[in-house]
Structure 1
């Protein structure tokens, strides 16, 4: 199974390496842009949840001001 996957990957890599550079660029951007946007969205959600979890509650915040 891994031999088949390695052969497929080598063929795909060779095909991409032989393309005209602007086409290579467009293909890489078409794959990486959605991945980067998705990763940024996921990181944003995780940071928001952790920040909300670490933030003191409203009752604690109001009582400490008095």
Structure 2
């Protein structure tokens, strides 16, 4: 099966290399742009989830040991601008 995929890819690569540059650009952009947007969204959501979890841990620690007052006036996000 891998040989079939390798042959298909070699044929596609040869076909793409023989195309006029604007056609190459459009075809590559049509694949890479959605892929990059999707990966950026996944990375953004992952970083946001980690930051929210760390923020909750910090707020719980500050509220639990009496070292600080948690301001929930901005939806529970300490980085919110008033």
User: 1:20: which partner in 2?
Assistant: 20
Unpaired runs of 5+ residues, structure 1, are none
Q: Which structure dedicates a bigger proportion of its chain to helix? A: 1
Q: Secondary structure at the match of 1:19?
A: coil
Using the size of structure 1 for normalisation, the TM-score is 0.86
Measured after TM superposition, the shift of residue 2 of structure 1 is: 1.4
Q: Distance in 2 between matches of 1:2 and 1:39?
A: 26
2:59 match: 57
- Aligned CA RMSD, in angstroms, stands at 1.9
Q: How many residues align?
A: 64
Task: Name segments (4+ residues, structure 1) moved above 2 Å.
Answer: 56-60
